């Protein structure tokens, strides 16, 4: 019986598989590992590296602001509204602030309590 054997790293077993999205899933895990490596390599130069992981932000909500999203309740996320581009922009802005320098090597989930494959956390 033939098998496929791959080498991994500690913690990789916490990444879920996505049916019919193997390339996408493996790329995202690779990007997360790259970000963590850069965070370690650049820390001595006071450079931080983080990754923002958006949840369900679709259709016109990509361009809407948070206040507009709150006017349209949704049962699709535990928080009760759809995510917006502003949610992501505010998170990135916070991480770019010089007073956020203790946050490095982190994956910041911005998902309203729902993961990327649309399961409640």
Whole-number pLDDT of residue 11: 66
Tell me the pLDDT tens digit for each residue of 49-69.
999 988 878 888 889 999 999
Q: Report, as an integer, the average pLDDT of 61-86.
A: 90
Domain membership flag for residue 48: yes
Domain membership flag for residue 12: no
Number of domains in the chain: 1
Q: What is the CATH number of the domain that holds 45?
A: 3.40.50.720
Q: Spell out where the chain has E strands.
A: 51-54, 107-110
Does the pLDDT of residue 94 top 90, yes or no? yes
Q: Spell out where 1-119 has E strands.
A: 51-54, 107-110
Domain membership flag for residue 3: no
| C-alpha 89 chain-centroid distance | 13
Does the pLDDT of residue 35 top 60, yes or no? yes
Range(s) of the domain holding residue 60: 19-110
Domain membership flag for residue 95: yes
State the DSSP code for 120: B
Q: Report, as an integer, the average pLDDT of 34-48.
A: 95
Domain membership flag for residue 116: no
């Amino acid at each position: 019986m033939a098998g496929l054997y791959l080498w991994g790293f500690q913690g990789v077993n916490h990444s879920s598989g996505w049916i019919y999205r193997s390339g996408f899933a493996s790329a995202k895990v690779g990007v997360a590992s790259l970000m963590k490596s850069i965070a370690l390599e650049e820390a001595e130069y006071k450079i931080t590296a983080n990754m923002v992981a958006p949840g369900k932000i679709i259709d016109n909500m990509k361009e809407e602001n948070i206040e507009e999203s709150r006017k349209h309740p949704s049962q699709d996320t535990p928080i009760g509204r759809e995510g917006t581009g502003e949610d992501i922009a505010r998170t990135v802005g916070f991480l770019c602030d010089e007073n956020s320098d203790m946050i490095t090597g982190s994956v910041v989930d911005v998902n309203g309590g729902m993961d990327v494959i649309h399961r409640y956390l």
